[in-house]
Amino acid sequence: MPLCIRRAQYLDTYGIGQLLSLTFYPWAQWFAPLMDLLVALDVQSRFNEANSHYLCVIALWQGQVVGTVEITVRTMAIGRVPYLFNLAVHPRWRGQGIGTKLLQTCVEMIVPWHFPYLYLHVLASNKIAQKLYYRSGFECCQVEKRWLRPDRLLLRKSLYCPL
């Protein structure tokens, strides 16, 4: 069965929660079922907002969520802009182009929102994700030095020529 990449539905949110919990809260895996549920509830809250500028795309393999990414319109210092977050691919599935496909798909889906740029933050130390973003057409527009927290980069990608 081939990999399927599609817009997520409400019923997918528990699988998304499991993947985000494993990816971003690995220290919490000793109480994984509870953490998975908490993260899934957080994702569900975004589905429930009836926000026309919210998108979640998933990669599915045999019914299992192996990749996910979300975009919403967020108010930042630069104004209201589309903002990408929670890009994650299951550790067993990394390095096979799934992250790249998720990015391509979600960027194509938000072109009709008619914003000039898509933004995201990435930790300055996260070289693997940066490589993926730069190869996918993102550019660094700001380096953010933060008190007692790791430095991060603000990246953006033009949506006028998304591919």
What is the amino acid identity at position 137? Answer: G
Q: Among residues 40 and 69, whose Cβ is nearest to ligand COA?
A: 69
Residue with CB nearest ligand COA? Answer: 99
- Minimum Å gap between C-beta 112 and ligand COA is 24
- Minimum Å gap between C-beta 50 and ligand COA is 27
Q: Is 137:157 a contact under the CB 8 Å cutoff?
A: yes
- Minimum Å gap between C-beta 121 and ligand COA is 7
Q: Is the sign of the CA dihedral 32, 133, 43, 67 positive or negative?
A: negative
Is residue 105 at the binding interface for ligand COA, with CB under 6 A as the rule? Answer: no
**Interface of this chain with ligand COA, residues 81 to 100, rule: CB under 6 A:** 87-89, 94-100
**CA–CA separation, 81 and 47 (whole Å):** 19
Q: From the CB of residue 132, how many other CB atoms can be counted at a distance below 10 Å?
A: 19
Burial pattern 7-40, b for ≥16 Cβ within 10 A else e, equals ebeeebbbbbbbbbbbbeeeeeeeeeeebbeebb
Q: Is 119:82 a contact under the CB 8 Å cutoff?
A: yes
- Minimum Å gap between C-beta 147 and ligand COA is 20
Q: Which of 132, 153, 154, 159 binds ligand COA (CB under 6 A)?
A: 132
Q: Among residues 19 and 40, whose Cβ is nearest to ligand COA?
A: 19
Site for ligand COA, rule CB under 6 A: 23, 87-89, 94-100, 122, 126, 128-129, 131-132, 135
